[in-house]
Amino acid sequence: MIGIIDYDMGNLYSVSKALERLEIPYFISKNIDELMEADAYILPGVGAFPDAMKTLQETGLQAFLDTKVYQKKPLLGICLGMQLLFESSEEYGQTRGLAYLPGTVERFSGNTLNGDAYKVPHMGWNELVVKKKAPIIQLFTNGHVYFVHSYVVRTDSSVVVAESNYHQAVPAIVQEGMIYGMQFHPEKSGDVGMNLLKQYGQLVKERKV
Amino acid sequence: MLTKRIIPCLDVKEGRVVKGTQFLSLKDAGDPLELALFYNEQGADELVFLDISASHEGREIIVDVVKEVAGSLAIPFTVGGGIYSIEDIRRILRAGADKVSMNTAALMRPDFIKESARVFGSQCIVVAIDAKYDPVRNDWRVYTHGGRKETSWSAVDWAREAERLGAGELLVTSMDHDGEKKGFNIPLLKAIDEVISIPVIASGGAGATHHFTEAFNEGKADAALAASIFHYKETSIEEVKYDVKEKGGLVR
Closest chain B residue by Cα to residue A91: B121
Among B1, B77, B252, the strongest candidate for a mutation testing the A interface, having the largest count of A CBs within 10 A, is B252
Q: What are the C-alpha distances in Å from B142 to residues A5, B107, B127, B153, B170? A: 42, 9, 12, 6, 13
Closest CA to A47 of B114, B127, B90, B119: B119
Residue B86 lies in a domain: yes
Residue B252 lies in a domain: no
Catalytic residue status for A23: no
Domain that holds residue A151: 2-208
Instruction: Select which of B45, B51, B130, B178 is catalytic.
Output: B130
Does residue B96 belong to the interface with chain A, where contact is any CB pair within 8 Å?
Answer: yes
**Distance (Å, whole) CA B73 – CA A15:** 11
Residue B251 lies in a domain: no
Report whether B125 contacts B151 (CB < 8 A): no
Which residues in chain A show pLDDT less than 70?
208-209
Question: Given this model, what pLDDT does residue B166 score?
Answer: 95
Question: Given this model, what pLDDT does residue A92 score?
Answer: 83
Cα distance from B175 to chain A (closest Cα, Å)? 25
Among B42, B69, B123, B126, the strongest candidate for a mutation testing the A interface, having the largest count of A CBs within 10 A, is B123
Question: Given this model, what pLDDT does residue B22 score?
Answer: 38
Cα distance from A16 to chain B (closest Cα, Å)? 9
Is A13's CB within 8 Å of B121's CB? no
Residues of chain A contacting residue B225, judged by C-beta atoms under 8 Å apart: none
Cα distance from A149 to chain B (closest Cα, Å)? 7
Domain that holds residue B38: 5-246
Question: Given this model, what pLDDT does residue B16 score?
Answer: 86
Question: Given this model, what pLDDT does residue A156 score?
Answer: 95
- Selecting from B67, B96, B122 the residue whose C-beta is nearest the C-beta of A150 gives B122
Do you know the residue count of chain A? 209
Is B3's CB within 8 Å of A119's CB? no
What is the count of structural domains for chain B?
1
Residue B230 lies in a domain: yes
Q: What are the C-alpha distances in Å from A101 to residues A28, A96, A136, B211? A: 24, 12, 17, 46
Question: Given this model, what pLDDT does residue B19 score?
Answer: 66
Residues of chain A contacting residue B72, judged by C-beta atoms under 8 Å apart: 17
Label residue A71 exposed, middle or buried (CB < 10 Å: 0-12, 13-18, 19+): exposed
Residues of chain B contacting residue A78, judged by C-beta atoms under 8 Å apart: none
Helix, strand, coil content of chain A in percent (nearest 5)? 30, 30, 40
Closest chain B residue by Cα to residue A144: B252
Closest CA to B99 of B110, B114, B112, B83: B83
Report whether B32 contacts B69 (CB < 8 A): yes
Residues of chain A contacting residue B45, judged by C-beta atoms under 8 Å apart: 124-125
Question: Given this model, what pLDDT does residue B25 score?
Answer: 37
Residue B96 lies in a domain: yes
| Cα dihedral sign, B86-B88-B90-B92 | negative
Residue B195 lies in a domain: yes
Report whether B184 contacts B207 (CB < 8 A): no
Beta bridge partners of A180: A76, A175
Is A125's CB within 8 Å of B96's CB? no
**Distance (Å, whole) CA B231 – CA B39:** 9
Averaged pLDDT, groups of 10, chain B, 252 residues long: 95 81 44 87 94 82 93 94 93 92 96 92 93 96 93 97 97 96 97 96 97 98 93 88 96 95
Catalytic residue status for A90: no
Residue B163 lies in a domain: yes
What is the count of structural domains for chain A?
1
**Distance (Å, whole) CA B23 – CA B240:** 24
Which contiguous run of DSSP H or E holds residue A103? strand A103-107
**Distance (Å, whole) CA B242 – CA B245:** 5
- Interface list for chain A against chain B, based on CB atoms closer than 8 Å: 10-11, 13-14, 17-18, 20, 46-48, 110, 117-127, 144, 146, 148-150, 165-166, 185, 187-191, 193-194
Is B123's CB within 8 Å of A126's CB? no
Does residue B45 belong to the interface with chain A, where contact is any CB pair within 8 Å?
Answer: yes
Domain of residue B127, CATH code: 3.20.20.70
Residue B130 lies in a domain: yes
Q: What digits encode the pLDDT tens for the residues B183-230?
A: 999 999 999 999 999 999 999 999 999 999 999 999 999 999 998 888
**ipTM for this prediction:** 0.90
Domain of residue A57, CATH code: 3.40.50.880
Do you know the residue count of chain B? 252
Is B3's CB within 8 Å of A190's CB? no
**Distance (Å, whole) CA B154 – CA B76:** 30
